[in-house]
């Protein structure tokens, strides 16, 4: 009997020793600390086209148990702009035990440009009792996110009555993934089709352009592409042209020659346009250059070119 008791006691002593040894080894060798991240510098300057690898340039990570874990480094997130064009990058590293280390790095874009709007057509609409898709004519491009046109919205105070002719002032707003908001004050023109339906239609190459503060005045004529009038397309010319020519006092031969020229080569003289340039190139803001063209029946076609003067 005493032999059994002795065996049990010995087994108990051995088990206790193994247990104590295991726990001692476990608690003295286990990985309880996250890795340590070392930044090459707290600030880094990159291009808007650079990827995560550029943000992590010069960073290393070391773990007391696993050694070099630089390969586990990643960018957890990028903050909104703290000030344009500066963001904070949250950088993380992992060890094999699953511990996470975090630090942050200041990221400055060297080539960031503000959001830019563009127009496919002028913001002029005939009276309607439906809802015109005004924003379908407006686009926004961002150097970080690309095309963000789907995010454009009117400000909360916009009130546009498409059932009543008039000029309505409003603002278009769009925000990119870095929290920068582009803003464009615009005029929405609502007109009565019966009053101007037969007027010449002036087609521009652009309906919104950006210029730098202090830049030289632009030549408005270079933004006129052509004129559409009574199913014909009129090109610009510095010659007499064939658009809205008063033939009073002409003989029949001259009139026939003009009609033939109008069919074969319809054109409008550049001096027939009335251009009102309201741009102040020394003060940032949103301005308009207005183009007007009148036919012999005094139908007047009008189109604005929006000019944004930036710092």
Residue with tokens 């060890």: 95
| CATH architecture for segment(s) 198-311 | Sandwich (2.60)
Neighbouring residues of 311: CB distance < 8 A, sequence distance ≥ 6: 212, 213, 284
Phi and psi dihedrals of 224, rounded to 5? -90, 120
**Maximal C-alpha separation, the chain:** 145
Q: Of the ranges 14-18, 105-109, 200-204, 286-290, which one carries the lowest mean pLDDT score?
A: 14-18
CATH class of 113-197: mainly beta
Chain segment 174-207, per-residue pLDDT in tens: 999 999 999 999 999 998 887 777 899 999 999 9
Q: Which CATH superfamily is domain 36-109 in?
A: Immunoglobulins (2.60.40.10)
Q: Averaged over 224-246, what is the pLDDT? A: 94
Which has more confidence, 161 or 143?
143
Tokens of 14: 């051995």
Spell out the domain ranges in the chain. Answer: 36-109, 113-197, 198-311
Instruction: Provide, rounded to the nearest whole percent, the portion of the chain with pLDDT above 90.
Output: 75
Q: What is the mean pLDDT of the chain?
A: 89
Give CA–CA dist 203/301, Å, rounded: 10
pLDDT band at 5 (very low <50, low <70, confident <90, very high): low
Q: pTM score, two decimals?
A: 0.81
pLDDT band at 27 (very low <50, low <70, confident <90, very high): very low
């Amino acid at each position: 009997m005493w032999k059994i008791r002795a065996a049990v006691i010995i087994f108990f002593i051995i088990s206790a020793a193994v247990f104590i040894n295991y726990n001692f080894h476990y608690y003295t060798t286990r990985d309880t600390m996250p890795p340590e991240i070392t930044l090459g510098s707290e600030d880094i300057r990159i291009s808007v086209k650079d990827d995560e690898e550029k943000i992590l340039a010069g960073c290393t990570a070391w773990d007391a148990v696993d050694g070099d874990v630089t390969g586990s480094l990643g960018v957890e997130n990028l903050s909104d702009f703290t000030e344009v064009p500066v963001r904070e990058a949250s950088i993380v590293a992992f060890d094999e035990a699953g511990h996470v280390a975090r630090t942050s790095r200041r990221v400055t874009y060297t080539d960031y440009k503000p959001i830019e709007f563009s127009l496919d057509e002028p913001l002029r609409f005939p009276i309607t009792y439906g809802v015109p898709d005004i924003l379908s004519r407006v686009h926004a491009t961002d150097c970080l996110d690309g095309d963000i046109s789907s995010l454009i919205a009117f400000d909360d105070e916009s009130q546009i009555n498409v059932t009543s002719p008039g000029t309505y002032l409003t603002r278009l707003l769009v925000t990119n993934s870095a929290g920068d908001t582009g803003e464009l004050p615009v005029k929405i023109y609502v007109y009565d089709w019966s009053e101007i339906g037969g007027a010449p239609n002036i087609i521009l190459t652009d309906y919104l352009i950006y210029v730098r503060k202090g830049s030289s005045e632009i030549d408005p004529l270079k933004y006129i592409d052509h004129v559409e009038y009574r199913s014909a397309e009129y090109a610009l010319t510095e010659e007499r042209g064939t658009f809205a020519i008063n033939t009073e006092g002409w003989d029949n031969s001259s009139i026939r020659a003009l009609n033939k020229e109008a069919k074969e080569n319809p054109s409008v003289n550049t001096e027939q346009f009335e251009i009102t340039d309201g741009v102040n190139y020394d003060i940032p803001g949103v301005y308009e250059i207005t183009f007007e063209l009148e036919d012999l029946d005094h139908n007047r076609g009008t189109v604005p070119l929006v000019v944004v003067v930036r710092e």
